Amino acid sequence: MKIAIDAMGGDHAPESVVLGVDQAHAEFKDLEFILYGDEKQIRQYLKAKDRVEIVHTTEVISMNDEPVKAIRRKKDSSLVMAAKAVKEKKADALFSCGNTGALLAAGLLIVGRIKGITRPGLLSTLPVVSGQTGAFNLLDSGANADSKAEHLYQYALLGKYYAENVRGVKNARIGLLNNGTEEHKGNKVTQEAYQLLKADQSLNFVGNVEAKALMQGVCDVVVADGFTGNAVLKAIEGTALGVMSLLKDTIKEAGLKGKLGALLLKDDLKGIKTRMDQSQYGGAVLLGVKAPVVKAHGASDAQTVYYTLKQIKTMLDEDMISEFTSYWQTLATKEA
- What does the binding site for a copy of itself look like in residue numbers (CB under 8 A)? 129-131, 142, 145-146, 177, 179, 185-188, 190, 210-216, 224, 226-228, 230-232, 234-247, 250-251, 253-255, 257-258, 260-269, 271-272, 275-276
Q: If we measure between CA atoms, which residue out of 157, 113, 114, 121 comes closest to residue 139? A: 121
Q: What is the smallest separation between the CB atom of 161 and a copy of itself, expressed in angstroms?
A: 25
Q: What is the smallest separation between the CB atom of 60 and a copy of itself, expressed in angstroms?
A: 20
Q: Using omega within 30 degrees of 0 as the cis cutoff, is the peptide bond preceding 140 cis? A: yes
What is the Cα Rg of the chain in Å?
21
Q: Considering the complex, state which of residue 20 and residue 159 has its C-beta at the smaller distance from a copy of itself.
A: 159
Q: What is the smallest separation between the CB atom of 75 and a copy of itself, expressed in angstroms?
A: 24
Q: What is the smallest separation between the CB atom of 296 and a copy of itself, expressed in angstroms?
A: 17
Q: Specify whether the CB–CB gap between 295 and 141 falls below 8 A.
A: no
Q: Considering the complex, state which of residue 139 and residue 236 has its C-beta at the smaller distance from a copy of itself.
A: 236
What gap in Å lies between CA 134 and CA 126, rounded to an integer? 9
Q: What is the smallest separation between the CB atom of 144 and a copy of itself, expressed in angstroms?
A: 9
What gap in Å lies between CA 37 and CA 54, rounded to an integer? 8
What gap in Å lies between CA 278 and CA 259, rounded to an integer? 28
Q: Considering the complex, state which of residue 189 and residue 316 has its C-beta at the smaller distance from a copy of itself.
A: 189
Q: Considering the complex, state which of residue 76 and residue 146 has its C-beta at the smaller distance from a copy of itself.
A: 146
Q: What is the smallest separation between the CB atom of 94 and a copy of itself, expressed in angstroms?
A: 22
**CA-to-CA separations, 154 to 133, 202, 295, 308, 324, in angstroms, rounded:** 27, 13, 21, 24, 11
What gap in Å lies between CA 42 and CA 55, rounded to an integer? 10
One-letter amino acid at 114 equals I
